[in-house]
Amino acid sequence: VSHAGVALEARHLVKDFRGFRATNDVSLQIHEGEIHAIIGPNGAGKTTLFNLLSGFLRPTSGEVHLFGQRVDQLRPFEIVRRGLSRSFQISSVFPSMTVRQNVLVALQSPTTLPHQFWTPLARLESLGEQADQILEDVGLGTAHARLAADLSHGEKRQLEIGISLTQHPKVLLLDEPTSGMGSEGVARVIALVRQVARGRTVVLVEHNMSVVAELADRITVLQYGAVLASGQYEEVRHDPRVIEAYLGE
């Protein structure tokens, strides 16, 4: 079987929670270099699918393949090392540290520096340069010295994305990057996702359909834990089943 062009693949994924099937035979392919949005009503199983794809949950059955290699039995950090990283939740940001210190800590995590218990000074300096570059990339260059606790909601999401970039992901999973944001924040996140998607594959869960319309090359629509439709955004958008189930307003 050839995996050319496929970054991430789910094969017949099933996840049961005490008899409740949250993920029901989900198969999908995320193409290398695309921005792929996973959409669907509340309770459709989007978060569960994300957790399965990133190794935070083990499937009841089925498989996850990353660049052609099976990863569903690996632990999350092992999957990170193979090139997949998800945006961290707010709780992974240290509020009493500065923005730059947060990125530095993430750069020194065991997944990034697997064989070093301590960090030589020269290495620390190069980490500093990497941190500054990442902060620049996520639009926090001028905010580097601020305490993470003092960031706005939108800036915290930018920092979370910066923290996941420290792991050099080839595939980046973003869980509702625009949640709780006003239109200005949403516009900033759209620009940011475009920026981080350069040379990367991005998978995002997103409720805001105008964000999906702006960003997504392809989308997968979930309903009751199963794939209702998957494909080019423009095609799926006009699929009568999708319009009936979700988009019909």
Q: How many residues line the site for ligand ADP (CB under 6 A)?
A: 11
Residue 225 CB, shortest distance to ligand ADP, in Å, is 7
Nearest CA among 3, 248, 208, 130 for reference residue 119: 130
Query: What part of residues 36-75 is at the interface with ligand ADP (CB under 6 A)?
Result: 40, 42-48
**Nearest to ligand ADP of 42, 96 (CB atom):** 42
Residue 46 CB, shortest distance to ligand ADP, in Å, is 3
**Nearest to ligand ADP of 127, 222 (CB atom):** 222
Residue 239 CB, shortest distance to ligand ADP, in Å, is 19
Helices (H) and strands (E) in the chain, counts: 9, 10
**70 neighbors 22 (Cβ within 8 angstroms):** no
Q: Among 35-43, 177-185, 226-234, 237-245, which window interacts with ligand ADP (CB under 6 A)? A: 35-43
**Nearest to ligand ADP of 103, 174 (CB atom):** 174
CA distances from 96 to 67, 71, 102, 131, 158 (A): 38, 35, 9, 18, 17
CA distances from 174 to 26, 88, 182 (A): 19, 9, 18
Does the footprint of ligand ADP cover residue 20 (CB under 6 A)?
yes
Which tokens sit at 96? 């009493």
Sheet holding 201-205, edge to edge: 84-86, 171-175, 201-205, 35-39, 218-223, 226-232
Query: What part of residues 150-209 is at the interface with ligand ADP (CB under 6 A)?
Result: none
Residue 15 CB, shortest distance to ligand ADP, in Å, is 8
From CA 197, how far away is CA 105, in angstroms rounded?
Answer: 23
Q: Which of 5, 12, 17, 77 binds ligand ADP (CB under 6 A)?
A: 17
Q: Which residues bind ligand ADP (CB under 6 A)?
A: 17, 20, 22, 40, 42-48
